[in-house]
Structures are given as C-alpha cells and as structure tokens.
Amino acid sequence: MTKAAAIFLESLRADLRPHSGTQVDMYASTGLVGRDASELWGSNQVALSVAIASLAQDLLIYGRRYNVRCMSWSRRVPASRPGPPPIRS
C-alpha cells in the first residue's frame, strides 16, 4: 500500500487526472462524489495496479475482453446465477 500511495501522490504532483476538465460528476454506491473527486476517478485503482505489477516477476496482461466493470455485475447477473460473471466484449 505504501508503494501505491507513493505512485498516487506522484500522479497528483504531475497533475495526471483521468477525467480532467470533463465536468463529470461520478456516481458511487453512496451517491455523487463531486466534480473534484470525479477528475481523479480511477486513479487510485491505477496506482494500486502499477504498484502490484512493479512487484511481479512475471506479468500476464489479459486482452480487453477481460475488462469487466464490477459495478455492472449486479445489474447484469442475478445473485442466484451459477458460474463466473459474463465477460464484456
């Protein structure tokens, strides 16, 4: 977590904001997060992924079809459905 925090803080210093200037107000599970927080939406997940990947000796990068937004599972897959969640293509 220390490495992820350092990467995140460095991205802030470099003004790397995934949604900079979009005026988007992201919706989280508890409601709208505000425009300032929305500009950073996803950046801490990226920092954690980069930190984890930097510690790996072997790294397998999956194709785009494995990029499934977890928030979409509850809308698309009933809780009683057996098996893995569907893959978005």
What is the reported pLDDT for 18? 83
% of the chain surpassing 90 pLDDT: 15
pTM (global) more than 0.85: no
pLDDT at position 55 over 80:
yes
Separation CA 14–CA 11 (nearest Å): 5
pLDDT at 22: 87
